[in-house]
Amino acid sequence: MSRVSQRMTARTSGLRKWANFPLLLTVGFLLLYGAVIVHSATSGFGSGAAMFQRQLLGAGLGLVALCVMWVLDYRMYESWLGPLVVLNAFLIVSPLIPGLGVEAKGAQAWLEIAGVRLFQPAEPAKLITIVIMAIVISQYKGVIERPRDVARITAFLALPFGLILLQPDLGTGLVFIAITMGMLVVGGLKPKWFVLFAVIGVIAVAGVFRFGLLQQYQEDRLLVFIQPDRDPRGAGYNLEQSKIAIGSGGLTGKGLGQGTQSNLNFLPERHTDFIFSVLGEELGFVGTVLLLGLYLALLMVALEISTSSRDLYGSLVAVGLISMWTFQILQNMGMTMGLMPITGIPLPFISFGSSFMLTNLAGTGMLLSVWARRSGV
């Protein structure tokens, strides 16, 4: 405790050095943008006002988490590898424990204690996975060649990945993989290994199809992705309606709260997974470009922070966050526009959902923590 406060006093000499204003500004705009869109998307619901308040509460809690993670030295938990692995595994498995978990949309994803729905443990698990993988990969000091090293890294990834499939939540599992792959690029994995991973990935996907390991809805979604007009009234319906919403927004959109696709319920899950469709319909291409611009700023700043880290471990934490966001942006926006298959991945800083919001803001706090302790400060 005393060490932490010592460091803090040392850094307060200049707020400019301690705080990364471009990041704070970008995240601030994203939060504001998200609040506007969520408000528009939920206003048509009977409980819309309460939902919006809950979202604001989530963002408020997220800002607290951001501050906590900012203040805490990210290096503090570099030595907690073992406990973090156990905590991560417990979090992921916890919804499956009778009496703790609640089922929602076909997966045991929620933690509930004494009848109170708390949060989705998979969300904080993303951050913990980032830290775990950053610790493990940074141990190789930028060069990963030997099969046993690759095997060890793979094992650390396989544990959370395997456990999340039990819920089942393939989407979050893919986030874990994306996080790890991004870190391995910077962490020094040799290209031949990436090729091998790609081959294994293709074989795995083929195997999953061949042996019918997917749930029916997952298979339908994938088939629809491959053949969009396959079943416009059934599995393809959501995608078709989403594209109609986004496209009908045109250049400047129909105006906030004026989206017919959204207000007349043609859009499914419009406040969570399909929030971008609401944005596209109501604010048009201009709104889309604004969002992509904010994401570009976020990723650029995060990259800047990563390169400025005083150690490889801190760089990798930042790279993990970049990878997580990049993948989620691609997956979410991509699915609403028919570029990616439909999975339940929300849009960072925009989608409705407290656990998700909390996680992204805590991640932002970790970035700030890396920045505050960068080299040369």
Partner 1 sequence: MATFRERLKPRYATLGIIFLSVLGVLFLRAWSIQVINADRYAAAAENNRVREIAIDAPRGRILDRNGNPLVTNRATLGVTVAPGAKDDEDMLYRLSVVLEMPLDDLMERVSSTREAALKPRLVALDVPMTVVAYLAEHETEYPGVEVSVVPVREYPHGSLAAHVLGYTGEISEESLNSGEMEGYVLGDLVGKSGAEWQFESVLQGEKGYRRVEVDAVGSPRHVLEEAEPVAGRDVVLTIDLEIQQVAEEALERALVEARADDFLNARAGAAVALDVHTGEVLAMASVPTFDPTLFIGGISTRDWEALTAEDSEYPLNNRAIQAAYPPASTYKAITGMAGLEFGVTSLGHSYYCAGRWTGMGEQWSKFCWKRSGHGSIGFTRGVAESCDVVFYEIGYEFYKRDREELQEFARRFGVGSVTGIDLPGEVSGRVPDAAWKAEFNANYPEYRQWLPGDTVNMVIGQGDLLTTPLQMAAVYAGIANDGDVMRPHVLKEVLDSRGEAVRAFEPEVAFSPEVSPETLRTMHNALLAVTESGTGRSALRGFAERVAGKTGTAEVAGKDDYAWFTAYAPADDPQYAVAVVIEQGGGGGAVAGPAARKILAALLGLPVEHVQATDVSR
Interface residues toward partner 1, by CB under 8 A = 141-142, 182, 185-186, 188, 241, 243-251, 260-261, 264-266, 280-281, 284-285, 288-289, 292, 295-296, 299, 303, 306-307, 312, 315, 319, 322-323, 326, 329-330, 333-334, 337-339, 375
CB 335 within 8 A of CB 218: no
Round to whole Å and give the CA distance between 108 and 349: 24
Q: Shortest approach of partner 1 to residue 15 CB, angstroms?
A: 26
214 phi/psi in degrees, rounded to 5: -85, 155
- State the nearest-atom distance from the C-beta of 260 to partner 1, in Å: 5
What is the DSSP pairing of strand 101-104 with strand 107-113? antiparallel
Whichever of 186 and 235 has its CB closer to partner 1, that residue is 186
Q: What is the DSSP string of 221-244?
A: HHHHHHSTTS-TTTTTHHHHHHHH
- Give me the least distance between CB of 204 and partner 1, in Å please: 21
Question: What's the rounded Cα separation, in Å, for the pair 92 and 79?
Answer: 21
Residue number with CB closer to partner 1 (59 or 245): 245
Residues 6+ apart with CB under 8 A from 199: none
Residues facing residue 365 across a β-bridge? none
How far apart are the C-alpha atoms of 218 and 168, rounded to whole Å?
A: 11
Are 237 and 267 in contact by the 8 Å Cβ rule? The answer is: no
Q: Would you say 223 or 337 has its CB closer to partner 1?
A: 337
Decide whether 15 or 251 has the Cβ nearer to partner 1.
251
Cβ neighbors of 312 (< 8 A, separation 6 or more) are: 138, 141, 142, 187
Residue 191 C-beta: closest distance to partner 1, Å: 10
- In degrees and rounded to multiples of 5, residue 131 shows phi and psi of -65, -45
Decide whether 80 or 285 has the Cβ nearer to partner 1.
285
Which lies closer to partner 1 via its Cβ, residue 108 or residue 332? Answer: 332
Minimum CB distance to partner 1, residue 181 (Å): 9
Beta carbon of residue 70, minimum distance to partner 1 (angstroms, whole number):
23
Residue placing its CB nearer to partner 1 in the complex, 120 or 331: 331
Q: Considering the complex, state which of residue 8 and residue 196 has its C-beta at the smaller distance from partner 1.
A: 196
Residues in the chain: 377
- Name the residue among 341, 163, 92 with its Cα closest to residue 238: 341
Please, what is the minimum distance in Å from the beta carbon of residue 185 to partner 1?
5
CA dist., res. 240 & res. 122, Å (int): 29
What would the two tokens of residue 159 be? 């544990």
Of the two residues 93 and 329, which places its CB atom closer to partner 1 in the complex? 329
Say which residue the tokens 């999975």 belong to: 343
- Tell me the CA distances in angstroms from 244 to 241, 282, 284, one per residue in order: 5, 12, 12
**Cβ distance to partner 1 smaller for residue 34 or 187:** 187
Minimum distance, C-beta of residue 60 to partner 1, in the bound complex (Å):
29
Q: How many CB atoms lie within 10 A of CB 11?
A: 16
| C-alpha to C-alpha distance for 289 and 302, rounded to whole angstroms | 20
Taking the complex as a whole, the smallest distance from the CB of residue 282 to partner 1 amounts, in Å, to 12
* Shortest spacing between CB 61 and partner 1, in angstroms: 28
Bridge partner residues of 112 (DSSP): 117
- For β-strands 116-119 and 107-113, DSSP reports them as antiparallel
